[in-house]
Structure formats: C-alpha cells, structure tokens
A and B are shown apart, each in its own frame.
Chain A
Amino acid sequence: MIHSSMNCTKCKTKAVMKLPRHNAAFCKPCFNHFVHDQVEKAIKSQAMFGPDERILVAVSGGKDSLALWHILLALGYHADALYVHLGIAGYSERSYDKVQYYAKMIAAPLGATLHTHTVEQEAGAGIKELAQLVHRPTCSTCGTIKRYQFNRAAIEKEYDVMATGHNLDDEAARLLGNVLHWQEEYLDKQGPSLPASVEGFAKKVKPLYRLTERELAAYCVLNKIDYIVDECPMAQGAKTLLYKEVLNRLETESPGTKQYFYWGFLEKQRKQSATSAPATMAEKDQTILHPCMSCGQPTTAESCSYCKLMARAKSAVPH
C-alpha cells in the first residue's frame, strides 16, 4: 500500500477534502463543521428563518436536498420534507426509495415527517406524458408542477418557510444564463431568500447557496447519505448543465470564480437596493399578483400557470 497524505488545515489529521476556493483542506469532522457553519451563515445573513420556525424541505432523492434535510436536522431545526413523485419510469421509483430510506432511518427518529405528492394521482399522467400532451419541454413542465405543489403544501400545512437544495453551482449557472441573455427581469428573484410577498405565497429560501455541488456530494459520501447519483433522464442536454461545465472549467483554473460571480452579484444587489430604494419585491408583487380564478394561488394572469397546464392537459386527452 502506498501512503500519501495531505493534512487538515485545522486539526492536522489526514484530510479527505481539499477546498481550493478557501485555500484549505479538511478531515471529516472539520469538513462537517465547515459545511454546517456555511449553512448557519446563510440562514442568519439572509434572515431565512429562526430556531422555532417550521421548515418544509423540498426533497428529490438527490444529494443537495437530502444533504439540506440532514444539515437542518443536525443543526436542530424543525424540518419536515415533501417529495413530489413525478412518475418518470424507473427514475422516480429509485429516487423515492432513497428519500423513503432516509426519512425512515434518519429523519423519523429525529421527529421529522416526509410528505409525498404523486403527480399521476392528481393529474392523471406522469410528467413526461403531461409535457407531451401540452407540447412543452419536460423540464419546464416539471418546474411548474414542483413550484406549485411545494408552495401549496407549505401554505396548506402551515409551514413558515419552504427550503430548496439550490447550491452555489445552481445559482451561478442560472445567473450566467440570465446575464448571457440579459434577462434582467429575472435577476430580482435570484436572491437566496424570497419573502412571502403576498397571501398564498410561502417564503422560499436556499440555505445551500454558499456551498458547491462537489462539497455537498462530499458531505453525503462522508456522512453515508445514500442519494441517487444518476442524472434525471429528462435533463439530458439541458442548458444548465453546459453552464455548470463551463463554470467548473473556470473554477478549476481559477478557484473562487463561482463564489465571486454569485456572491458578488448579491452584494451589488444589496448595495443598489440600499442606495436607490426602489420598490421592494413584496411591493412589486402586491401590485401585479392576484388570486388564480381556479385555485386561488397568486398569479399575474387570470389562471395560474399550473391551472393553465392542467386545463390544457385535460383538453388534450384523447376521448
């Protein structure tokens, strides 16, 4: 056996993870401490939630959402979870198995609950069939359904806040996409904490925005969190993956690129809102949103995008 080792920056025992963007390397306990500390920093600096608030975590069976649930429980927060079963042949079952296993073995003994919403039960078809029926890309149909169901569950089950597993790579890739296409109207909503601006909208937070995908995957491996490694079969060729690949090439050559890009954007946004005092996001939302005529969830149109999707799917079903 050939031995070689690199030592932990903090305690000098053998390191298992290098973090070039922090010019550091950590052993397992120090890495866990680093991850928990980053999430606490995110929660406090963005005023996401307090120790007594009830949190609904959106889980998919992937590394980010299971890591998020695990970290919040480890930090002592009241965190339950919701899984939306999309009905993707094979993939949904395997991802649901991972979520159920985690819920049963780790979360339930800590008093946390897993809720499940099955798309096929409510919509009469899985996500792929629905997307085909309404002639829309699967990923955007999936996004509409998940956003709607997570918000609905958070409101109906009276959670104070809804948390998603979006990480630094997700946010940097999304920012890159928005900047490349100058989609300025989307930039307002790219923060890690979106308020419950109008009645019917849950507050939404992203406590993992300070951590990279690689760090979250490492956290799962080190803590034996069994997640679905396979990519969603519907996501093949999605633009986000290309943006992430490009950013990772830059990050490898120049560590810290992703955090300078996204955190720098957040800092600019904060300074701008402090000096120019434009209408707050909540004020803007209150002027343009009203209840959907079908379901009551806030929308800019007569019917919300979920109800429109369901109506189109129903009218497209062959009789």
Chain B
Amino acid sequence: MHIQLSHPSRTVDIKGPKRAKDVLRELNLVVEAHLVIRGDELVTEDEMLADQDHIEIRPVISGGT
C-alpha cells in the first residue's frame, strides 16, 4: 500500500494486508502521536489496511514555545 508521511513529506510502500497499528509499528511511529487516514476517512488503529489503499499517516504533535 502507498503511504504518505509528513515531517518531512515522503511516501513509502508497505505490503498489505496489515492492521494500521502494525503499519505504525513497522514505521517506528507512536499511535498516540499519529492519525491513520484511508482516502479521506479516519480509521482506528485496529483497521485492516489493504494493498490498494491510499493511506496518510498524519503527525499530530505541534508547538514550539
């Protein structure tokens, strides 16, 4: 599956099917700091993602003060 990442912006491909939380683990990303979006729909970390899915993994941490 095609995965869009940010900070910095890049894409990676990961073989599916795989649960969202396992994709995050494979990319060494913490669940609490990210959202998984399939197409334009938010999915839970238990969702099974398929090879044909377009996924965005969006970081949610901000702030620099």
Contact = CB atoms under 8 A, between A and B. Distances in A.
A12 interface: no
Contacts of A63: 60, 62
From B6, B19, B42, name the one whose CB has the most chain A CB atoms within 10 angstroms. B42
A248 B32 contact: yes
A217 B60 contact: yes
Nearest to A217: B60
B65 A217 contact: no
Given A214-B32, A221-B37, A139 B64 contact: yes
A216 B58 CA distance: 13
A16 B50 CA distance: 17
A216 B65 CA distance: 19
Contacts of B3: none
Interface in B32-65: 32-35, 37, 40-48, 50, 58-65
A17 B6 CA distance: 21
A18 B64 contact: no
A213 interface: yes
B46 A214 contact: no
Interface residues of A, number: 45
A212 B42 CA distance: 16
Interface in A233-279: 234-236, 238, 240-241, 244-245, 248-249, 251-252
A162 interface: no
Contact of A16 (B7, B44, B48, B64): B44
Interface string A155-179: 0000000000000011001000000
Contact of B50 (A1, A248, A251): A1
Contact of A62 (B6, B46, B62): B62
B41 to A, nearest CB: 7
Contact of B41 (A1, A16, A232, A241): A16
Contact of B61 (A15, A140, A248, A252): A248
Interface residues of B, number: 29
Interface string B1-30: 000001100000000010100000000001
Contacts of B33: 213-214, 244-245, 248
A231 B48 CA distance: 29
Contacts of B31: 252
B63 A142 contact: no
A319 interface: no
A244 B63 contact: yes
A51 B65 CA distance: 31
A4 B48 contact: yes
A235 B50 contact: no
Given A4-B46, A18-B44, A241 B60 contact: no
A248 B62 contact: no
Contacts of A234: 64
A235 B64 contact: yes
- In order of increasing CB-CB distance, the 8 nearest A-B pairs are A235-B64, A238-B64, A217-B60, A4-B48, A248-B32, A213-B60, A248-B33, A251-B32
Given A17-B42, A214-B60, 14 more contacts: A4-B47, A6-B46, A16-B41, A139-B65, A143-B65, A169-B61, A221-B35, A221-B37, A221-B58, A235-B63, A238-B65, A240-B63, A248-B33, A252-B31
